[in-house]
């Protein structure tokens, strides 16, 4: 997935906030944590370009292992269930939940190592053929990109609705 991680994070954060507002967390902080979680796995691009010099696919780093995000999400759920003060656990929940969503969205058209670190084998729901020299053009002109466009349209629609109705995240 190229452009729709942030829009997907926006959609999930916006739709889920109503359920968590009662724990005292502000809408803007909930949205910030959700948006950050939705792109957090891709922060490994700094290492990919800056230190690894593109030697390994960045989806093979631990930051793109679903097991890591599942572990973090489980810890966030446990904190949410057992901590007396819920504000931070709620932020951790939306952060790690959107991080896990990132894994699922990446899996649609790119390799995700679902069983790492135990099995070093990538899986992809759809194989995007390498037709053009520029890797991003292969994704942009593939039919799977329609999903990204739909997510962008959905997120934009939600954003405009909130603006028009002067709504906070909670409705
Ligand atoms: Zn990614």
- Rounded Cα distance, 27 and 100, in Å: 21
Cα(30) to ligand 1 centroid in Å equals 21
Confidence label for 110 from pLDDT (cuts 50, 70 and 90): very high
Cα(166) to ligand 1 centroid in Å equals 33
The average confidence (pLDDT) of the chain is 93
What is the rounded radius of gyration, in angstroms, for the C-alpha atoms of the chain?
17
Confidence label for 165 from pLDDT (cuts 50, 70 and 90): confident
Q: What percent of the chain has pLDDT over 70?
A: 96
With a CB cutoff of 8 Å and minimum separation 6, the contacts of 152 are: 3, 4, 7
Cα(111) to ligand 1 centroid in Å equals 10
Instruction: Encode pLDDT of 21-75 as tens digits.
Output: 999 999 999 999 999 999 999 999 998 889 889 888 889 999 999 999 999 999 9
Confidence label for 116 from pLDDT (cuts 50, 70 and 90): very high
Is it the case that residue 171 has pLDDT exceeding 60? no
Is it the case that residue 169 has pLDDT exceeding 70? no
With a CB cutoff of 8 Å and minimum separation 6, the contacts of 100 are: 66, 69, 70, 73
- Rounded Cα distance, 29 and 15, in Å: 15
Surrounding ion ligand 1 within 5 Å at CB are: 41-42, 106
- Rounded Cα distance, 101 and 11, in Å: 12
Cα(23) to ligand 1 centroid in Å equals 30
- Rounded Cα distance, 51 and 108, in Å: 27
pLDDT score for 167: 67
pLDDT, mean of residues 134-161: 93
């Amino acid at each position: 997935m190229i452009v729709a991680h942030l829009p997907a994070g926006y959609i999930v954060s916006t739709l889920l906030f109503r359920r968590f507002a009662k724990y005292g967390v502000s809408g803007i902080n909930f949205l910030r944590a959700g948006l950050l979680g939705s792109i957090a796995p891709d922060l490994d691009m700094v290492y990919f370009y800056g230190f690894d010099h593109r030697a390994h696919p960045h989806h093979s780093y631990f930051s793109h292992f679903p097991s890591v995000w599942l572990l973090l999400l489980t810890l966030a759920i446990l904190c949410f269930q057992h901590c007396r003060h819920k504000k931070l656990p709620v932020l951790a929940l939306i952060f790690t939940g959107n991080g896990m969503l990132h894994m699922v969205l990446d899996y649609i058209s790119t390799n995700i190592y679902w069983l790492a670190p135990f099995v070093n084998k990538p899986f992809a729901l759809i194989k995007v053929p390498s037709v053009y020299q520029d890797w991003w053009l292969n994704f942009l002109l593939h039919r799977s990109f329609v999903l990204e466009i739909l997510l962008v349209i959905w997120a934009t629609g939600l954003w405009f609705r909130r603006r028009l109705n002067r709504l906070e995240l909670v409705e």
